[in-house]
Amino acid sequence: SPAVALICGLLITAMALVASWLSFLYAGLLFDPLAPIISGSITHFAATSFRILVIDRERREVRRAFGHYLSPSLLHRIEHNRDALRLGGDDRELTVMFVDVRSFTEISERLAPTDVVAFLNTLLDALSRHVVANEGTLDKFIGDSIMAFWNAPVDVADHATKAVRAALAMRETLTELNAGDAFGFGPGQEVGIGIGIHTGLACVGNMGAKTRFNYSAVGDAVNVAARIESCCKEVGFDILISDSTARLVQGMAVIEAGALPLKGKSSRTQILAVVGDERVAASAEFAALEVVHRQLTQALHSHSRNSRKLIATAKLRATQVIGGLAEFYQRISSRTDHFREAPDEVEKSAAD
């Protein structure tokens, strides 16, 4: 290294000066050490400059390349902590997000493989930027899906809110891409996505083999987030969050989407739909929709005959807030059981 080379150079210089002085003092011989010292110094600084300009530049290029796969916070953690590159993990409260492309099989069937890759690169690049912009960590790309999480490897304040903001930004970006025909599918051929978000305890760390591993998260929180994302098709809405995430999100426009049975879960999970941000939540249109929606959920819970009329009213109110809610209310009539207590939950409430 340059530091070791400098120390060695200084020692050789000192030895040359001492040897020259002793030779003149005891043997009467004059050896001029100036020329070799100057030539050695020139060689040392030339080699050091070459190392900084060439070798360190290559190191920066490698770091920049890995920056496409790892979040900046994770890179910083690895650089300053040698123990970061070890197998194992820590239990942390994470907000986990899954993003999936709707009808991807149909899209891939009518496109050539190279066109499928170009489509995915365009879409996933545009969406994943919002994860990093909101202090999230991109875990992996799974085909047409994105997995990301917040609050690891470093603490992130208001991580649930930032995850929801990233989801809303993805919705807006996708709308712009569809409007500009960024995928080249032609007018009327729009791409849709589903986003599921859940906050809970998970184990996050380096996982895999000792010679090849990934920084990832595993646990029930990850499974729940993936299951919530898969419910977007059934619910008919693009952004769904769990009640644990909703309790941490302040000021967002959210409405109840029912208690859905998730695969692998013994009890149903309360799901909410994210309509918009604080600006939407403060609007008069959403306030009116919220009142009607609350009446509708109460009617569905009590098996009221007034529910059909309230669904029609809610659909009318929804069009004034966001267009995507029309399908949401269209499907409520076929999943009224999601707004009613299951028999086991009724028994549990009575026991409590």
- Is residue 130 a contact partner of residue 169, using CB atoms and an 8 Å limit? yes
Centre a 10 Å sphere on the Cβ of residue 351 and count the other Cβ atoms it contains.
6
CA dist 293 and 18 (Å) reads: 92
- Is residue 264 a contact partner of residue 223, using CB atoms and an 8 Å limit? yes
Q: Structure tokens of 186?
A: 């032609």
The owner of tokens 């069937």 is 109
What type of residue sits at position 229? E
Helix (H, G, I), strand (E, B) or coil at 263: coil
Which neighbouring-strand residues pair with 195? 99, 239
Per-residue pLDDT of the chain (352 residues; tens, 9 = 90+): 777 888 888 888 888 889 888 988 888 888 888 888 888 888 888 888 887 777 777 767 767 766 766 667 666 766 666 566 565 678 999 999 999 999 999 999 999 999 999 999 999 999 999 999 898 999 999 999 999 999 988 888 999 999 999 999 999 999 999 999 999 998 888 999 999 999 999 999 888 887 777 889 999 999 999 999 999 999 999 999 999 999 999 899 999 999 999 988 889 999 999 999 999 999 999 999 999 999 999 999 888 889 999 999 999 999 888 878 989 999 998 898 999 865 444 344 444 4
Helix (H, G, I), strand (E, B) or coil at 247: coil
- Give the list of residues 6+ apart from residue 244 with CB closer than 8 angstroms, or none: 198, 199, 200
DSSP assignment letter at 71? -
Q: In this structure, what are the phi and psi dihedrals at residue 256, rounded to the nearest 5 degrees?
A: -70, 135
Where do the DSSP E strands lie in 42-143? Answer: 88-101, 137-142
